[in-house]
Amino acid sequence: MLGIYATGTVPFKDVYLHGLVLDEKGQKMSKSKGNVINPIEAIGEYGSDALRLGIVAARSAGQNQAFSLNKVVAGRNFCNKLWNIARFIEGKLPEDFTLQEPQAQTLADHWIARQLDSAAKSIAEQIEKYRFAEASDAMYHAIWDDVADWYIEASKKQDNPQMLAWVLDTALRIAHPFAPFATETIWQTLGWQKALLISSPWPTPIEYNDIAAAEFEQLQKLVSEARFMVSELPGNAKYELLYQEDSLIADNAELIRHLAKLKSVTQVDQAKGVRLASSNREAWLAVDEETLYEHQTNQEVRLAEAHQLIKNLQGRLGNANYTDKAPARLVEETRQQLAATQELAERLARELDVLK
């Protein structure tokens, strides 16, 4: 009203209303209760970008939602991850580096080009719809999971400087709306950029091959299952991956060995050990009979424990006294625990089917 009075024009076409920011127990913040989070203190300890990320995360319009400093800590960790990505990539580039149109060469190159293109489109669409939490989540997973966990690791065996620079450039652009200070500071260190990040356009896609991207996803499934199986096996030994006729594994043996932290990747005529069945490939971890028996026994015990826990959780959720009277937060945590335990039980059962 004051804006209309002073200027004669409507100051805002759209107004975004978020719900109350409650404390971590779901109660309204109050000085008398002593549960108020001082934003100035949070900024002083964790940074403004961390607070911004923490507030946006998992927050829907018009809904009162709990908030804790743990989300701010997660935001700070994300900013640190951005710095680490930038430090690694810039360390791989020559001093006189000039960014040109990158060419995707490896399977990982094609995959990350597709992932970042998809993320940029999704983030822009979600922001246009004022779905900031969903946009933040898409950005977070694209950078933390796709760039840091997979592409950076793959690039250590398959170097492509122009592609690395483009990945960093794109990551900073899509993260800027959510972490403007950290991204702008990193941007100023890039020798190939002269303008400010805030005035730079949204990233544009580069050419990639969908088939090559899908093949990298197949490698991811194999590597993820190998990592899981190694973590489940007794002891801390480095295992050998054995495979039969498989051109995808053969062409990427060193990359698989590096990503899965294996002793070696070897083609054989006759394989034995633990088969990596979930990846749908003819691949095994070379495990001796004694270790295999111990592993099978441990998994059978874990499966029995999982089934008992599922029964207990289902009984708790089937009790109206619990679902109606317990705090909503506890009921939701129970549902999440049940879903996670059911997923674990299904995985253990599949693994035991392969072992037997």
Same domain, 141 and 269: no
pLDDT value of position 208 = 96
Mean pLDDT along residues 61-75: 85
pLDDT value of position 355 = 62
**Mean pLDDT over the full length of the chain:** 90
The b-or-e profile of 261-295 (16+ CB within 10 A means b, else e) is ebeebeeeeebebbbbbbbebebbbbbeeebbeeb
Residue that terminates a domain, selected from 263, 287, 311: 287
Same domain, 232 and 266: yes
Instruction: Give the closest residue to 150 by CA, choosing from 190, 106, 186.
Output: 106
Residue that terminates a domain, selected from 287, 314, 340: 287
Q: 127: which residues sit within 8 A by CB, 6+ positions away?
A: 135, 177
Q: 335: which residues sit within 8 A by CB, 6+ positions away?
A: 317
**Residues 215-264 pLDDT 10s:** 999 999 999 999 988 888 877 778 999 998 899 999 999 999 999 999 99
pLDDT value of position 279 = 77
pLDDT band at 354 (very low <50, low <70, confident <90, very high): low
pLDDT value of position 277 = 74
Structural domain including 310 reads 290-356
Same domain, 118 and 174: yes
Structure tokens that stand for 333 in this block: 């945590």
Same domain, 190 and 283: no
pLDDT value of position 356 = 55
Same domain, 241 and 195: no
pLDDT value of position 236 = 74
Same domain, 249 and 301: no
Same domain, 103 and 11: yes
**Residues 290-319 pLDDT 10s:** 777 777 788 889 899 999 999 999 999 999
Same domain, 203 and 311: no
pLDDT value of position 214 = 97
pLDDT value of position 11 = 82
Q: What is the DSSP string of 152-210?
A: HHHHTTS--HHHHHHHHHHHHHHHTTTSHHHHHHHHTT-TT--S-GGGSPPP------H
Between 43 and 349, whose confidence is greater? 43
Indicate the number of domains in the chain: 3
Residue that terminates a domain, selected from 208, 233, 257: 208
Q: Contact, 211 vs 217, CB < 8 A?
A: no
Same domain, 246 and 156: no
Between 346 and 355, whose confidence is greater? 346
Indicate whether 119 pLDDT > 80.
yes
Indicate whether 212 pLDDT > 90.
yes
pLDDT value of position 121 = 97
Mean pLDDT along residues 70-79: 94
**Residues 4-24 pLDDT 10s:** 899 999 888 888 888 888 888
Beta bridge partners of 284: 242, 275
* Beta pairing, strands 65-66 & 21-22: parallel
33: domain CATH number is 1.10.730.10
pLDDT value of position 249 = 95
Same domain, 9 and 30: yes
- Cα distance between residue 309 and residue 324, in whole Å: 21
Its pTM surpasses 0.85? no
Same domain, 97 and 229: no
Structure tokens that stand for 259 in this block: 């990503």
Same domain, 278 and 314: no
pLDDT value of position 136 = 95
